[in-house]
Amino acid sequence: MIPIKLYLVLSGVLFVIGTSGVLVRKNVLVMLMSVEIMLNAVNLAFVSFARYMMLPKGQVYVFFSITVAAAEVIVGLAIIISIFHKKESMDVDDMNVLKG
Amino acid sequence: MTDIPILSIIVFLPLLGAVCVSFIPGQNKPFIKLVAFLFSFITFLLSVSLFFLFNPSVGTFQFMEFVPWISSIGANYSIGIDGISLFLLMLTTFLTSIAILYSFRSIGSKVKEFMIFMLFLNTTMLGVFVSLDMLLFYLFWEAMLIPMYFLIGIWGGERRVYATMKFFLYTMFGSVLMLAAILYIYFMHQKATGISTFDLQSLLAYSTAYLPFKTRLFLFLGFAIAFAIKVPLFPFHTWLPDAYTEAPIPGNLLLAGILVKMGVYGFLRFAIPFFPEVSRDFFYPIGILAVIGIIYGALIAYVQKDMKKLIAYSSFSQVGFIMLGIFSFTDTGMTGGVLQMINHGLSISALFLLVGMLYDRTGKRGINDFGGLSGSMPVFSAFLLITILSSIGLPGLNGFVGEFLILLGVFKVNIALTAIASTGIILSAIYMLWMFQKVSYVTPADREVKKLPDLSLREILILVPIILMMFWLGLYPKPFLSRIEPSVKNLITVTAPGHFVAPVASQFLSDKKIPEKTFLKSLPGK
Amino acid sequence: MGLIIFLILGILSVFTAIAVVVEKRPVYSALYFIANLVVLSLIYLTLHSEFLAVVQVLIYAGAVMVLFLFVIMMMPPVVENRFGKMSFQKFLIMPLLLIFLFELVYVLSCGLYASAGKSPSSLSFENFGGIVSLGQLLFKRYLVPFEITSLILLVAIIGAVYLRRSEQ
Amino acid sequence: MNSTLLNSVLFVVLFPVFGSLFVGIAGKWLKKPLAGIIASCSVGLSFVISVFTFFSLIKLPPDLRFFDKVFFQWVPVGHFLVNFGFYVDPLSLLMIMVVSSVSFVIHLYSIGYMKDEEHFSRYFSYLNLFVASMLLLVLADNFLLLFMGWEGVGLCSYLLIGFWFHKKSAADAGRKAFIINRIGDFGFLLGILLIYHTFKSLNYNVVFSNAPLILSHGSGIATAITLLLFMGAVGKSAQLPLYVWLPDAMEGPTPVSALIHAATMVTAGVYMVARTHVLYQLSPVSMGVVAFVGIITAFYSASIGMVQFDIKRILAYSTISQLGYMFLGVGVAAYSAGIFHLMSHAFFKALLFLCAGSIMHASAGETDLRKLSGLRKYLPVTFWTMVIGALSLSGFPGTAGFFSKDDILAHAYVTPYYGKFLWGLGIITAALTSFYIFRMIFIVFWGDKQKESHPHESPKIMTFPLIILALLAIIGGYVGLPESNLIHRFLSPVFLGTAVLSSNVELKTIMVSLVFSLGGIATAWYFYLVNPSLPESMKKKAAGLYKLLLNKYFVDEIYERIFVLPGRKLSSFFADVFDAKYIDGAVNETGKWIKTNSEQWRKIHTGYLRNYALIILIGGILLLGFLMTKIH
């Protein structure tokens, strides 16, 4: 049996990679993808806990989180496309209309 | 408890009125005015009936009503009045009906909303004077600000937004401190006794017996600052001139006539009974602030150009007297203070009405805009003179009786303070007569003041009841004094040093099952 | 034996993730992301949750990423320099990320969950991750959330449609 | 004394009150003279009742002539109780008779005098209100009611002085009078508080009966009480420090000056001191203060009176000086003498004022001596009555003034220590008095007539009261003849324990004072009739002194600079600087401070997505860091 620590460390690493993606990249799509990576990292942790706590409930939650992620992507992409049409650029720094 | 809940009827009738008015279509102005006036007048008649039903020999609360409201946190709808709040109640209903009667002509725009706010304000003010439950009191205390905010904000003068904002935030700041104090006591009481209640009596019994002195000092400050802002005492008074000058006359009537009394009533009902020793030690600081207020207010009033500002500062100076009387902790002093609250309410509202009538005619409020009015408006100047004399405390009118009792009460405690305070009677004479001369007597040489029409029958009808009350209170104050005095004596005995308040839970709690382990059991000599 | 497989898959997933972030052209980063998903589903298999592995591949990779590719295809190929005109952030990010990584690893690795693995579970070993147990759970205890998720999807679709329509 | 009579005493006050209310309200619709007639009748009725009470009181033995009738409880607060009640005794009876008689006569006079006045009825309503409050003041049975009458009288004097309100000087004079009275009342009020503090009651009987028991002779409290009360008297009766309002009060109509500022109101101070003589007996210090203030005021105002030109101002200063005499009398424990002088002064000073009124009436309101002369032939009745008044004022034998003034001077002479000095100053003042009054008489009535003026005698309604007063000014004296001294015996039950003078001492002082007053008349005669140029040369020689006296020792200007200007500066400082800047400023400042701060915080939201992401990361790091600390 592989100790759970490894799985968690792996999800931690994936999570950090996802965060770096969000921070570093300027292209909105890639940012969205890195958010998805972070999401998967968390799902991984969920499943590993479910497995080691022997609670199938964990998997149900992952199932729900995936559907929610899907919904999120749909809306995200729709927004991105509409912004793109207005701004003609995918650069996230141009989208600072909501300045304080 | 009388069977018919008369107090609740009085308190909530104006609210009912406000609801009825809201149903009347806006453009039907005369009908709105009639309905509004009817409701306020009926409330006044009820409060007068209360005056006769009131049994003067008893000092404690009468006409009490009790309905569990939010029993989970122990907040009950318990109301009742004693000698002190009886007359403030009557003053509120009296001034509101007069304010509404006066506003028939002077408030042109948005009459419907105006009437709704006035009636709503009436209910909240009555609520403050009757509630015996801390939460209920706080609720009405805050609710009262809202209509007043709109009254000044919408129908006020030029700088009304600034004035009403300042007034609202200033009072809110104070009442937040009070809320903190109330909650602190509530939780301490809950921790000690296990019963969670907002009832005045039980919190009172607990706080006097069990809170250590230092916390009581801070709690007292919490209450005191909230009420001092409302009164206003010396350093907290800067909202007063702005709020008074910018408010519409009916708003002024209630603002000066009643809202100011709430600060003093708050001291009498909450700050003093809750912390008797602390409030007695506070005689000197508050007394000195009050005396400063008297002299300072009078001096500033002397150089004011705008009549409303002059009246505002004179009211600030008069209120200094009331506070002095209240904090003298002597029988005559306190009774004088309570009586002076009524007198001040009458004379200030009469002054504002008169200024309002001038404002209706000329649209101007400056003192130098008028002159030689007693030539063209003899009736007006006669009324103005009587009101001025009442406010500077001429014997035979109501101001003097209150002032004399206050000075008498304070004389027992501290002679120097009385001497300085009584210079107030000279200063008030100076600025009031100066204003009267500028307005009524001397015609300015430079320009001819056009002949202004004298008071119409309606205006006379408004002023006559107030003037009659002034004479009645001045010549035969016995019925009023005999009702105020027992409750004041009761208050003094309760707060006398060394008087151990037998922690009897208020009689309403006793019928409920009190859990075994209560602090009542653990009290010595229970 | 299982450990080796896990290590391989782990390294694979980390590399694909880094590739996603580093890759200049969005299309390639999307493809790398799909690869990452597939590796993850394999990892799920090692954790005996077969249903999830399939769902992951089927829905996530299949549906979501396809959508992504559609969008990326629509966009004109813009090659953006990765680090662009980042203001003061550039210097801050690296150290912060490292600190974050260290903290995450530290917290996850120490024994918050010491009791894991010991709690007796009613379900027998073999049908833990399978369809049967998951199905029972989904349609008995978590029926309401299940229905709600479908609702969420519906809302998302309507939102997307509305956004695009108001565009014209 | 049957109870109906006692109740009727209430009507002494109530009649003028009803009169004033009726005339005030119904004034507009009453024809011209009707209002005056109603007002005069109401005062006449109260005079009738007071005379009626007087006769029924006389029938009783001297020590039974005290009645305290309580009508209702005025201010009951716990054990503090003040009743609305009247105290009838010889002193108050004498006072109400003097007050009601003099005011009745003046009411008749003013019907004629004010005939062409626009606010005719308002004038009479104020006058009636004045008489009512004066009678209330005199009849009150406790200090609070006395204070009510006291301030009521002050109010009416304010209203009547400022009757011609469109004149700025009149309105200012009225306000000045009220405020200075108010300053006096401030002391009076403190006195009342101190009285209640020591005696636990304000009722005369209670206070006077146990005053000697509680307060020891010459005790601090007694002196404090009496001095505070005296401060009120000084304010009301225009004695030295607070006298400035009386000369300006001449702005009001002349009958008003006659009634208020000669006969009744200003004497309230003397009455109050006489009424509280028990307290004054207890503190010789305040007795000395009263006497000294009295005599110095007398001398001071007589000196100013000598050089004034306005006839009403001269009479005003003469009133102040005569009041000084009364206070001297009361100060040297010659209470009945003081009250006697008060009575005689009321008669002859009212007479003088009314004559001045008819002179003004005849010469179109002219009051300046320099523009009046040779009216003897044209105003015979006024001339003769005025001469009688002048004689009585300067204490010419046979007139009322002679007996009352000498009675006081005799008592002053007798008092130990400072008696001689008081008497000496009194004699000199008597000389000055006769000088200035006859200076006025000779200038106004002798010499040739002014060219353009065409004086005519005043109508019957005005001359008839002059004649009555002239008779009273003479007969009034015989009440106080040294031998029979009816007035002293009548008042003696009130002022127990005051010594009666041996007649020979009185004879001696009478001779000396007679010489001085005749000397005054002779000098006036010589100055203004024999060679008119003499006064001019005197003026040049003693120019400095003359200027000083002419400008009333610059007292008004000094008061202005000491009190009024700094007061105004202080209040404007408070209003504009202190209140607006510091307190109001503090409140606004906190408002602004919050606003500027929130301005800074707003900048955090840069709008860049990645900044926000970074902040979230930082938050995450902090959270995890906190979690790590927990794990150990």
Instruction: Tell me if C113 is assigned to some domain.
Output: no
Q: Which residues of A touch D607 (CB under 8 A)?
A: 96-100
- Name the token pair of D594: 């919050």
Whole-angstrom Cα distance, residue D325 to residue D237? 12
Q: Could D610 and C110 be called an inter-chain contact, meaning their C-beta atoms sit closer than 8 Å?
A: no
Give mean pLDDT, residues B376-391.
88
Which residue from B422, B443, B478 is facing D186, i.e. has the nearest CB? B422
Residue contact D608–A100, C-beta within 8 A: no
Nearest to A33 by CA among B138, D443, C18, B147: C18
Asked if D617 is an interface residue toward chain A (Cβ–Cβ < 8 A), one would say: yes
- Which member of D148, D179, D183 has the closest CB to residue B396? D148
Stated as kind and residue range, the H or E segment containing A13 is helix A4-24
Residue A20 lies in a domain: yes
Residue B42 has pLDDT above 90, yes or no: yes
In a domain? residue A95: no
Q: How far is D295 from chain B (nearest CA, A)?
A: 28
Query: What pLDDT, on a 0 to 100 scale, did the predictor assign at position B395?
Result: 87
Cβ distance of C49 and A26 shorter than 8 Å = no
With respect to residue C104, please indicate whether it lies within any of the assigned structural domains.
no
Give the pLDDT of residue B525: 43
Q: Does any domain span residue A96? A: no
| Confidence at residue B242, expressed as pLDDT on a 0 to 100 scale | 85
- Please tell me if residue A95 touches chain C, with a CB cutoff of 8 Å: no
Q: Touching check for B395 and chain D: CB below 8 Å?
A: yes
Q: Which of D606, D610, D613 sits opposite A99 (nearest CB)?
A: D606
Confidence of residue B139 (pLDDT cuts 50, 70, 90): very high
Cβ count near D521 (within 10 Å): 21
End-to-end CA distance of chain C: 58
Helix (H) or strand (E) holding D69: strand D67-77
Distance CA C38, CA C59 (A): 11
Q: Which of B332, B458, B342, B346 is nearest to B406 (CA)?
A: B332
Residue B93 is predicted with a pLDDT of 92
Percent of chain C with pLDDT over 70: 78
- Tell me if there are at least 3 CB pairs under 8 Å linking chains C and B: no
Q: Is B303 on the interface with D (CB under 8 A)?
A: yes
Higher pLDDT among residues B447 and C162, named by residue = C162
Name the pLDDT band for B2 (thresholds 50, 70, 90).
low
Structure tokens at D123: 């004038």
- Asked if D602 is an interface residue toward chain A (Cβ–Cβ < 8 A), one would say yes
Residues of the domain holding C57: 1-75
Question: Which DSSP string corresponds to chain C?
Answer: -HHHHHHHHHHHHHHHHHHHHH-SSHHHHHHHHHHHHHHHHHHHHHTT-HHHHHHIIIIIIIIIIHHHHHHHHHS------TTTT--THHHHHHHHHHHHHHHHHHHHHSSTTTTTTTS--SS-STTSSSHHHHHHIIIIITHHHHHHHHHHHHHHHHHHHHHHHHH-
User: Quick check: D193 and B478 CB within 8 A?
Assistant: no
Q: Which residues of D touch C97 (CB under 8 A)?
A: 617
Query: Looking at beta carbons, which residues of chain D come within 8 Å of B442?
Result: 165-166, 168, 171
- Mean pLDDT score, C18-29: 85
Mutate to test the interface with D, among C80, C83, C94, C103 (most CBs of D within 10 A): C103
**Nearest CA-CA partner of D444 in D522, D352, D507:** D352
Tally of CB atoms within 10 A around D167? 15
Return the axis-axis angle of helices A4-24 and C2-22, rounded to nearest 10°: 10
Length of chain B equals 526
Rounded Cα–Cα distance for residues B474 and B496 (Å): 31
> Measured between CA atoms, how close is D150 to chain B, in angstroms?
9
Q: Looking at residues B462-470, what average pLDDT do you find?
A: 91
The distance of B74 to chain D (nearest Cα, Å) reads 37
Residues of A in contact with C74 (CB under 8 A): 81
Least trusted range by pLDDT, from A33-37, B488-492, D291-295, D604-608? D604-608
Whether D387 contacts D353, CB under 8 Å: no
pLDDT higher than threshold 70 for residue B175: yes
CB B14 within 8 A of CB B117: no
- Token pair belonging to C66: 């396809």
What SS3 class is residue B271?
A: helix
Pick the residue of C64, C67, C94 with the most A CBs within 10 A to test the interface with A by mutation. Answer: C64
Count of structural domains, chain C: 2
What is the C-alpha separation between D68 and D85, in angstroms, rounded?
A: 7
B422 touches chain D (CB under 8 A): yes
Nearest residue of chain A to residue D604 (CA atoms): A100
Q: Does residue C4 lie within any of the structural domains?
A: yes
In a domain, A74, yes or no: yes
Residues of chain D under the 70 pLDDT cut: 1-3, 451-453, 480-485, 496-505, 632
Q: Decide if D610 touches C, using CB distance below 8 A.
A: yes
pLDDT at residue A1, rounded to an integer: 64
Q: Read off φ and ψ for residue B63, nearest 5 degrees.
A: 50, 40
**Helix (H/G/I), strand (E/B), else coil: B238:** coil
Backbone angles phi, psi at B162, to 5 degrees: -60, -45
Q: What angle is formed at CA B191 by the lines to CA B185 and CA B193, rounded to 5 degrees?
A: 95
Residue of C93, C103, C112 with shortest CB distance to D624: C103
B425 pLDDT band, cuts 50/70/90, is confident
For residues D487 and D494, give the distance between their C-alpha atoms in angstroms, rounded to a whole number. 12
- Determine, yes or no, domain membership for C86: no
Do D614 and C89 make contact, defined as CB atoms within 8 angstroms? yes
What is the residue type of D228?
Answer: L
Average pLDDT (C51-56) is: 87
Q: What's the pLDDT tens digit per position in B362-375?
A: 877 777 777 777 77
- At C23, phi and psi to the nearest 5? -55, 130
Structural domains in chain A (count):
1
> pTM of the entire structure?
0.80
> Is C129 within 8 Å of A59 when comparing Cβ atoms?
yes
Residues 6+ apart with CB under 8 A from C160: A74, A75, A77, A78
D479 secondary structure, DSSP code: T
Contact (Cβ atoms closer than 8 angstroms) between residue D302 and residue D429: yes
Burial classification of residue B502, based on how many CB atoms lie within 10 Å of its CB (0-12 exposed, 13-18 middle, 19 or more buried) = exposed
- Those chains having 3 or more beta-carbon pairs within 8 angstroms of chain D are A, B, C
pLDDT at site B490: 86
Question: Last residue of a domain, which of C33, C51, C75?
Answer: C75
3-state secondary structure D303-369: HHHCCCCEHHHHHHHHHHHHHHHHHHHHHCCCHHHHHHHHHHHHHHHHHHHHHHHHHHHHCCCCCEH
Minimal Cα distance from D603: which residue of A?
A: A100
Residue in chain A nearest D614 by alpha carbon: A23
Residue after which a domain boundary falls, among C56, C75, C94: C75
Contact criterion met (CB < 8 Å) for A73 and C160:
no
The first and second tokens of residue B296, run together, are 């300072």
Question: Hey, CA dihedral for D201, D207, D209, D214, is it positive or negative?
Answer: positive
Which chain B residue's Cα is nearest to D162?
Answer: B441
* More confident: C113 or B273: B273
- The encoded tokens of residue D271 equal 């009455």
Q: What are B344-364's pLDDT values in tens digits?
A: 999 999 999 998 888 888 877
What tokens does D465 get?
């009261």
Q: Tell me: the pLDDT tens digits for C78-98?
A: 655 555 445 566 677 888 888
Q: Do D624 and C89 touch (CB under 8 A)?
A: no
Tokens of D116: 């062409």
Q: Which residues of B touch D158 (CB under 8 A)?
A: 433
Q: How far is D622 from chain A (nearest CA, A)?
A: 15
Whether residue C99 is contained in a domain is answered as: no
Nearest-5° Cα angle at D211, D207 to D212: 155
Distance CA(B394)–CA(B382), nearest Å, equals 15
Residues of C in contact with D611 (CB under 8 A): 89
- Residue D73's φ and ψ, nearest 5 degrees, are -80, 120
C68 plus C138 within the same structural domain: no
- CA D200 to chain centroid, in Å, comes to 29
Spell out which residues of chain A touch residue D604, defining contact as CB-CB under 8 Å: 100
D279-294 pLDDT tens trace: 888 888 888 888 889 8
Q: Which residues of A touch D (CB under 8 A)?
A: 19, 22-23, 31, 92-93, 95-100
DSSP D375-416: -TTT-HHHHHHHHHHHHHHTT-TTSHHHHHHHHHHHHHHHST
**Counting runs of H as helices and runs of E as strands, what totals does chain D give?**
28, 2
- Greater pLDDT, B427 or B499: B427
Neighbours of chain A (3+ CB pairs under 8 A): C, D
Contact state of D631 with C112 under an 8 Å Cβ cutoff: yes
Of all residues in chain D, the percent with pLDDT exceeding 90 is 5
B258-284 burial code (b ≥16 CB/10 A, e <16): bbbbbbbbbbbbbbbbbbbebbeebbe
Buried/exposed C41-78: b ≥16 CB within 10 Å, e otherwise? bbbbbbbbbbbbbebbbebbbeebbebbeebbeebeee
Using a CB-CB cut-off of 8 Å, the residues of chain D touching C104 are: 624
CATH number at residue A81: 1.10.287.3510
Of B237, B239, B433, the CB nearest to D179: B433
Q: Over 80: is that where the pLDDT of B326 sits? A: yes
**Does residue A100 sit within a domain?**
no
Q: What is the model's pLDDT at position D480? A: 67
Please write down the long-range contacts of B44-47, taking CB distance under 8 Å and 24 or more positions apart: B44/B90, B44/B93, B44/B94, B44/B96, B44/B97, B46/B6, B46/B9, B46/B10, B46/B13, B46/B93, B47/B10, B47/B89, B47/B90, B47/B92, B47/B93, B47/B94
Stretch 10-49 of chain A: residues touching chain C, C-beta under 8 Å: 10-21, 23-27, 29-30, 32-34, 36-37, 40, 43-45, 47-49
Query: Nearest 5°: phi and psi at B230?
Result: -75, -35
Radius of gyration, alpha carbons of chain D: 31
Q: Is some CB atom of chain A closer than 8 A to the CB atom of D627?
A: no
Nearest-by-Cβ selection for C107 from D610, D611, D631? D631
- Cα D98 from Cα D341, distance rounded (Å): 12
Q: What is the dihedral of CA D333, D338, D340, D346, to 10 degrees?
A: -170
Substitution target in C12, C15, C37, C40 with the highest count of A β-carbons within 10 Å is C40
Residue C139 and residue C71 in one domain: no
More confident residue, C13 or B189: C13
Sequential DSSP letters for D121-187: HHHHHHHHHHHHHHHHHHHBSBHHHHHHHHHHHHHHHHHHHTTSTTSHHHHHHHHHHHHHHHHHHHH
Contact D388, D473 (CB under 8 A): yes
Q: Cα separations (Å) of D204 from B99, D66, D94, D272?
A: 45, 12, 18, 12
State how far the Cα of B51 lies from the Cα of B479, in Å rounded to an integer: 10
Residue D606 near chain A (CB below 8 Å): yes
Q: Which structural domain range is residue A16 located in?
A: 4-90
Which of D75, D144, D171 shows the shortest C-beta gap to B477?
D75
Residue of C nearest to D612 (CA): C89
Choose among C80, C2, C73: nearest CA to C31.
C73
Contacts of D613 in chain A (CB under 8 A): 19, 22-23
